[in-house]
A and B are shown apart, each in its own frame.
Chain A
Amino acid sequence: MIEGRNGKWETVIGLEVHAQVVSKAKLFSGAATDFGAEPNTQVSLVDAAFPGMLPVINRFCVAQAVKTGLGLAAEINLASVFERKNYFYPDLPAGYQISQYLQPIVGHGRVNLDMPDGTLREIGITRLHLEQDAGKSLHDQHPGLTYVDLNRAGVALMEIVSEPDLRSAEEAAMYLRKLRSILRYLGTCDGNMEEGSLRCDCNVSVRRPGEPLGTRCEIKNLNSIRYVMQAIDYEAQRQIELIEEGSRVEQQTRLFDVGRGITRPMRSKEEAHDYRYFPDPDLVPLVLDPDWVKQIRLALPELPDDMKARFMSEYGLSADDAGVLVAEKETALFFEQAARGRDAKMAANWVMGDLFGALNRLGIGIGKSPVSAGQLGALIDLIADGTISGRLAKDIFAEMVASGADPAVIVEAKGLRQVTDSAAVGATIDRILATQADKVAEYRAGRDKLYGFFVGQIMRATEGKANPALVNQLLKKKLAG
């Protein structure tokens, strides 16, 4: 809810996400899809729309769309139709984009959001369809000319359309993160917004709570979650101010100006393109074999919601911890490898604490972690079998981050093995107590606080290697006299 000049307003948001399909080849041509290749090196004659060239559907891209649909708990349409969306632009070589319009490959589905208050919000998916990406117009290569790079032309995209179920910029961000997480778990989109593999159009309107939907504006082509949030907040505020001033919101397509943090009009409803959709006569309707869909369903990987539930039941993690660990597939896999057969809560704490801290400092993702899951597991094993103390483990972990070495190697090299020999520890305690006779007397007179001082002195003398439990046991006995 947003507080206006005279009462509360509700923002209503629906998102259209364009997710680039993970595939070696384009949707209708055999050309490769590598990001960052030299301009116009990933282009077939089909992509460049040479006369007489014909599209042939890439089966793998279809499988990826079906997989994504299943991951969104959506209906899979066994018959769908590719249509032509006609408009002229130099980076659209054929003068039309092959897309799906009236009959998409995937119908209604849902994405679950775990709200901060612990409740679950279900966001409806209206549809998912397959379409081609366009090429790229380069306006900055020459003062008077526009260059065209067709590497991206024909790359497969999934357009995933949500219901207008989102109510704030924060919710939109949560939805995008969750959707991206699902896509990454499925391996159907790498979700990399900087490289443009995930782009978002936002439909935003405002209304008084309980009233019918207001007039919406569409903000095109946002390529970061931060921009999505900024654009929604700005746009909602703009619409509220318009209505409160007594004017109306005009249905528009708008662009987000990243530099100024504002949205500005691109075209109005009257100027909207007439895309003249019609079924592409070069392609036959896409008909899926139900058994093939079933095989894809059976081969689906575990998705974040299921994994979270399992982490809670199998490892006894809290909902919050499990939620954090499953947000990224790589983190979840890392955790599980480190935790399996060990104290899972301890593993979770290490991953979310020291490991996340180290990765943040280094500014890298878990995929590039200098400490492997196996190494973290080995560290936990050393704690569990008493070889090192928890305190020493922190130092060893820091060393692991710095050098990438195995914990056992560090322990041996630096002689950090815990001292568990009670005679040796006892001798050290005796020596300390002998040099601190006055403090011993004070302690025995009732100054309990001094206990910690003795422990500190002993640990310093043993360079932290004395087994803390053993120190406690012997110290108490000796102080008791």
Chain B
Amino acid sequence: MSDPALLALNLAEARAGLARKLFSARELTAAYNDAVVEAKPLNAYITPTPERALAMADAADERLALGQALPLDGIPVAIKDLFCTKGVLTTAGSHILDGFHPPYESTVTEKLWRAGAVMLGKTNLDEFAMGSSNTTSWYGPVENPWRRPGDNRPLVPGGSSGGSAAAVAARAALAATGTDTGGSIRQPASFCGIVGLKPTYGRCSRWGVVAYASSLDHPGPMGRTVRDVAILLHAMAGHDAKDSTSAPVPVPDYEAALTGDIRGLRVGVPREYRHEGMRIEIEIAWNDAWEWLREAGAEPVEISLPMTKYALPAYYIIAPAEASSNLARYDGVRFGLRVESDSLEEMYELTRAAGFGAEVRRRVLIGTYALSAGYYDAYYLKAQRVRTLIARDFASAFERVDCILAPTAPSAAFAIGEMSGDPVEMYLNDVFTVPANLAGLPAISVPARLLEGLPIGLQVIGRAFDEETVLRVAQVLESAASFRHLPGFVAGGRS
């Protein structure tokens, strides 16, 4: 097969092609290594690992030849550079982790390699996963492979998993890992026209993932189709004794859940999501989706999530509070950047001032303030109470419905630099995604349609540990939307 034809395959198709020996893992991986090079202008990768990829592909080919194929044998994936990878530079998009080569492998990536997947490289991201536009990375912004028709300004891919999303959309990776703390998988998936799933909190281990906000960080899969994401999740998920917040529950066969049958399913449509600064086109897309699900036999139910309006402020207290503490370890003492000085205090100050970018500094300051004596009750404690109420909102909604349908983001991708003036305006990008993080619920974004030539996604939120329903409904949406559009740039060409 030609390179463009290989790159056009989705994960499930590539898996079938490898199994039937239509091409080798080496051929597939070589095509992707070339694609990574071709996609370099997008800046989606910080560290490509082509040699390692070929070595892993060869090992996969040996197993395939022996008929001992593993579930993901020979599947080239990209890894968000927040996952620690043994011996491979791991940056979290930050200057402060300069030269950091972890002597360990994160649980999630270890599981992928054990399932036979091939590592193409480490993808760019907002620094420490703090951002919704992938513009805060020390390694520079990532460009969305999509462009607005008639406007050649580069657009953001969303964030923080922007490199992963751009790579998958531009066919520079077959699939990718991401992490989602306030929407960092779903929003870039929406902006790049791919599928991104934030699993239930505790479903995928956080061990070896550089922490942003521990109680909100969710590793998860990103791919071209709902099925691809289901396949990847199966390999990534599972209890990990090394993560105390990992859930000791069995991992179901997510592909088997993709029956297409959602008859009788009650799908909640939250009233409060209507007026959150949403563009009318997004509301139309949402209404269309409601119609598609009805046609497939589901029953739309209007629900109320009254605490929704407090989710964003609560998130922007809790996440920075945890981050201010999680990022204290970057002190120049043991690894990464150190700016030398004769005094300890000054060494800390110089190192952290040089090592952290503006957005990270802002959140560390906000978080430190929110936890300070005299402010703790007014900010952190109150935000935690809001969080409890939001979880309660969802719990009572799920007494009446089986899942919830909502927009993923209030807009499509915007131009790089278009929005960076006001951080709060940027934070509003997370308005529809943050509640599922606060409640720890599984949520997926599926491309629904184009808005002025740019993809927008819709979100399905489910009950805790019910990724199966989320995936099933998402696949029905995917079929109904039959989103076949390609971005302006794809590796191998748009043939």
**Chain A residues packing against B (C-beta within 8 Å):** 45, 48-57, 84, 86, 88, 90, 93-96, 146, 148, 274, 276-278, 281-284
Residues of chain A within 8 A (CB-CB) of B92 are 51
Set of chain B residues within 8 Å of A51, measured between Cβ atoms: 84, 90, 92, 97, 100, 102, 210-211, 329, 335
**A276 in contact with B368 given A49-B334, A93-B333 (CB within 8 Å):** yes
Q: In whole angstroms, what is the CA distance A50 to B211 when docked?
A: 10
The answer on a CB contact under 8 Å between A52 and B211 is yes
With both chains docked as a complex, state the minimum distance between the C-beta of B432 and any C-beta of chain A, in angstroms.
23
Q: Which residues does chain A contribute within 8 Å of B244, judged by CB atoms?
A: 54-57, 282-284
8 contacts between A and B (CB under 8 A): A50-B335, A51-B211, A54-B242, A55-B244, A57-B244, A90-B331, A278-B321, A284-B244
Option from B213, B334, B373 in Cβ contact (under 8 Å) with A93: B334
Within 219-248 of B, Cβ neighbours of A (below 8 Å) are at: 241-245
Query: Which chain B positions have C-beta within 8 A of A48?
Result: 334
Report the Cα distance A367→B371, complex, angstroms: 50
Residue of B nearest to A273 (CB): B373
B328 contacts A88, CB within 8 Å? yes
Chain A, residue nearest B83 (CB) = A52
A281 with B210: CB separation less than 8 A? no
B contacts, CB < 8 Å to A: 83-84, 90, 92, 97, 100, 102-104, 106, 206-211, 213-215, 241-245, 321-322, 324-325, 328-329, 331, 333-335, 344, 348, 368, 371-373, 376, 380
The docked-state distance in angstroms from the alpha carbon of A96 to that of B207 is 19
- Write out the residue numbers on chain A whose beta carbons fall within 8 Å of the beta carbon of B208: 52-53
A45 to B106, CA, bound (A): 13
Pick the contact of B104 from A45, A96, A148, A281 — CB < 8 Å? A45
For the complex, what is the distance from the CA of A54 to the CA of B335, rounded to whole Å? Answer: 17
**A278 and B380: CB pair below 8 A?**
yes
Give which listed residue, A86, A88, A90, A284, contacts B245 with CB less than 8 A: A284
Asked whether, in the complex, the Cβ of B371 is within 8 Å of the Cβ of A276, the reply is yes
Contacts of B344 in A (CB 8 A): 90, 146
* Contact (Cβ within 8 A) B213 A281: yes
Q: Within the complex, what minimum Cβ distance (angstroms) separates A481 from chain B?
A: 93
**Given A51-B92, A52-B208, A278-B376, residue A88 in contact with residue B325 (CB < 8 A):** no
| Cα A93 to Cα B334 with chains together (Å) | 8
Complex: chain A residue closest to B344, CB-CB: A90
Contact of B103 among A45, A49, A54, A84 (CB under 8 A): A45
Residues in A with CB closer than 8 Å to B103 are: 45
Bound state CA distance, A33 and B106, in angstroms? 26
Q: Are B206 and A52 in contact (CB under 8 A)?
A: yes
**Shortest CB–CB separation between residue A308 and chain B, in angstroms?**
42
A141 to B322, CA, bound (A): 36
The chain A residue with its CB closest to the CB of B367 is: A276
A49 neighbours in B (Cβ, 8 Å): 329, 334
Contact at B331–A88, with CB atoms within 8 Å?
yes
- Nearest Cβ distance between residue A473 and chain B, in whole angstroms? 79
B104, A50: Cβ atoms closer than 8 Å:
yes
Least distance between A355 CB and chain B CB atoms (Å):
50
Q: Are B334 and A281 in contact (CB under 8 A)?
A: no
Please state if A278 and B325 are interface contacts (CB–CB under 8 Å).
Answer: yes
Tell whether A56 pairs with B242 under 8 Å between CB atoms, given A45-B103, A45-B104, A50-B104.
Answer: yes
**CB-CB nearest in chain A for B92:** A51
CA A277 to CA B214, docked complex, whole Å: 15
Decide if the interface of chain B is mainly helix, strand, loop or mixed.
Answer: loop
Is the pair B97, A96 in contact by a Cβ cutoff of 8 Å? no
Q: How many Å lie between the Cα of A187 and that of B100 in the bound state? A: 42
Q: Which residues of A contact B106 (CB under 8 A)?
A: 52
> Closest CB of chain B to A275's CB: distance in Å?
8
Other-chain residue from B206, B328, B335 in contact with A94 (beta carbon distance below 8 A): B328
Shortest distance from the beta carbon of A51 to any chain B beta carbon, whole Å: 4
What A residues does B84 contact at CB under 8 A?
Answer: 51-52
Report the separation of the CA atoms of residues A314 and B245 in the bound assembly, to the nearest whole angstrom: 52
Chain B: minimal CB distance from A137 (Å): 10
Contacts of B210 in A (CB 8 A): 51-52
Q: Report if A276-B325 is in contact (Cβ < 8 Å); known contacts: A90-B333, A95-B331.
A: yes
Complex Cα spacing A228 to B324, Å: 37
Q: A52-B211, A55-B244, A93-B334 are in contact. Are A86 and B328 (CB under 8 A)?
A: yes
The CA of A435 and the CA of B280, in the complex, are separated in Å by: 134
Bound complex: CA A48 to CA B102 (Å): 13
Are the C-beta atoms of A94 and B376 separated by less than 8 Å?
A: no
Question: Whole-angstrom distance between the alpha carbons of A95 and B330 in the complex?
Answer: 8
Residues on A with C-beta less than 8 A from B206 are 52, 54
Q: Is the CB of A86 within 8 A of B325?
A: yes
Residues on A with C-beta less than 8 A from B214 are 281-282
- Least Cβ–Cβ distance between A328 and chain B, in angstroms: 39
Residues of A within 8 A of B97 (CB): 51
A32: shortest Cβ distance to chain B, in Å? 18
A94 touches B322 (CB 8 A): no
- Shortest CB-to-CB span from B255 to chain A, Å, is 29
Residue of A nearest to B207 (CB): A54
A95 to B211, CA, bound (A): 14
Q: Which residues of A contact B368 (CB under 8 A)?
A: 276
- Chain A CB count within 10 A is highest, among B90, B100, B211, for B211
Chain A residues with CB under 8 Å of B83's CB are 52
The 9 A-B pairs with the shortest beta carbon distances in the complex, nearest first, are: A95-B328, A281-B215, A281-B214, A276-B371, A52-B208, A49-B329, A51-B210, A274-B373, A52-B84
Nearest CB in chain A: distance from B130 CB, A: 15
CA distance A278 to B102 in the complex (A): 28
B329 A94 Cβ-Cβ under 8 A? yes
Q: Which residue of A lies closest to B241 (CB)?
A: A56
Pick from A52, A90, A278: contact of B207, CB under 8 Å: A52
A93 to B83, CA, bound (A): 20
- For A275, give the chain B residue with the smallest CB separation: B373
**A50-B102, A282-B214 known; A96 and B333 CB under 8 Å?**
no
14 new A-B contacts at CB < 8 Å, known A49-B334, A276-B373: A45-B104, A48-B334, A50-B104, A51-B102, A51-B211, A51-B335, A52-B206, A52-B210, A53-B207, A94-B329, A96-B325, A276-B325, A276-B372, A281-B245
- A96, B322: Cβ atoms closer than 8 Å: no
CB distance from A98 to the nearest CB of B (A): 11
Residue in B closest to A84 when the chains form the complex, CB atoms: B325
Instruction: With A88-B331, A88-B348 as known contacts, state yes or no: A274 contacts B207, CB within 8 Å.
Output: no
Residue from A52, A274, A283 with most neighbouring chain B CB atoms (10 Å): A52
Question: In the complex, A53→B207 CA distance in Å?
Answer: 6
